[in-house]
Structure 1
Amino acid sequence: MKTLLAPTIPQVPTRLGTWATGSRPPVLTDEEFPQPKVQAGAADLRAIREADLHRALARLADTGTTVLVGRYSLVGPRQDPAGRLAEAQAVIHRRRWTTSITTFDTTEGHAQALRPQLARLFAALDAGEIHGIVAVSQADISPFPDTYAHTLTVLRARRGFLALARNETSI
């Protein structure tokens, strides 16, 4: 049997509680507009890192927990990591923390973003084996401010911290 009515297709909701109406986009109600990315300077990054450090140390002191850290360094091809790891150890010794993992990555043969030992430290942080990471400088984590800031955010979300022997403007 033939009909003169066109088949109807039900409209799929674009957002919970709203229905698509014509070709206009749905109206934003209680959502925020996307904010432009603001690049943090070295002083801002240092302030963020130190606030995270103080917050984590206060939490550990309240529970009477010994601070366990992982020592980390990023070195170039055929570069001996001993010097940089010793500089990180000086921070650990001065603060009377305990080192449970000492490791380093090298940039040889792969991109700087691929760091299996740094990933190992993040896994140890998740497992509760360490509470934070001690490195020499920001360059051990990332020379790029956005990537470094993201790493600080990830550490904060995992209730960890990053302590540096040098400030964010040093290499």
Structure 2
Amino acid sequence: MTSLASTTVPRRPVPAVPRPGDRLQGAHWLRGLRETYFAEVTADLTRPLCVGLYVLVDDGQDPATRLATAHGLAAAQGWAVSFRTFDRTGPTDPATRPQLARACHAVTHGEINGIVIASRTDISPYDDHYEATLRRLRTHGGFLAPALPETAT
């Protein structure tokens, strides 16, 4: 007879929630959460990962540099890039950005495994918005991968 413990897959523990107001601790916690979700989502994949690149710029700003930063991570990891997109809305609520919605839709419908960004500011400088995006993508079997650590801008 096989015990239940021997048939379950061990899961990485989710990091402890940081104290409110501690920005650096919050950034480290979010990084841990993102890494945990990435490990969970990619653990059983046998095919190469396919991603979309997404960055946020201000109106009139050229997205090329930020897209190149995101592409650098995808290339270094050997991930196939399905599309590159950006919003020119500047720092607005992530829920209001059409191209971010397009990228999330692609994850939800299994077109890509994840979204690569230049830095967390492409999603939001606010921990709650960033965390909500991580959780939304994880719920749909996807991940978020910033080229720069969460503490960078």
The TM-score normalised by the length of structure 1 is 0.72
Note the 1:8-27 alignment, pairs <5 A.
Answer: none
Tell me, in whole angstroms, the C-alpha distance in 1 between the residues paired with 2:92 and 2:54: 17
> SS in structure 2 opposite 1:65?
coil
| 1:44 aligns to 2:29 (yes or no) | yes
Q: Structure 2: which amino acid aligns with 1:84?
A: R
More helix by share: 2
| 1:66 aligns to 2:48 (yes or no) | yes
Equivalent in the alignment of 1:150:
132
Aligned length: 131
Tell me, in whole angstroms, the C-alpha distance in 2 between the residues paired with 1:86 and 1:111: 22
> SS in structure 1 opposite 2:150?
coil
Q: Structure 2: which amino acid aligns with 1:161?
A: F
Tell me, in whole angstroms, the C-alpha distance in 2 between the residues paired with 1:88 and 1:105: 14
The TM-score normalised by the length of structure 2 is 0.80
Equivalent in the alignment of 2:101:
119
RMSD: 1.8
Gaps of 5+ in 2: 1-17
> SS in structure 2 opposite 1:41?
helix
Q: Structure 2: which amino acid aligns with 1:97?
A: W
Please report how far the alpha carbon of residue 59 of structure 1 lies from its aligned counterpart in structure 2 after TM superposition.
Answer: 2.2
> SS in structure 2 opposite 1:100?
strand
| 1:107 aligns to 2:92 (yes or no) | no
> SS in structure 2 opposite 1:101?
strand
| 1:53 aligns to 2:35 (yes or no) | no
Identity %: 44
1:5-33 superposed Cα distances (whole Å, 9 cap, x missing partner): xxxxxxxxxxxxxxxxxxxxxxxxxxxxx
Please report how far the alpha carbon of residue 38 of structure 1 lies from its aligned counterpart in structure 2 after TM superposition.
Answer: 5.8
Structure exhibiting the larger radius of gyration computed from Cα positions: 1
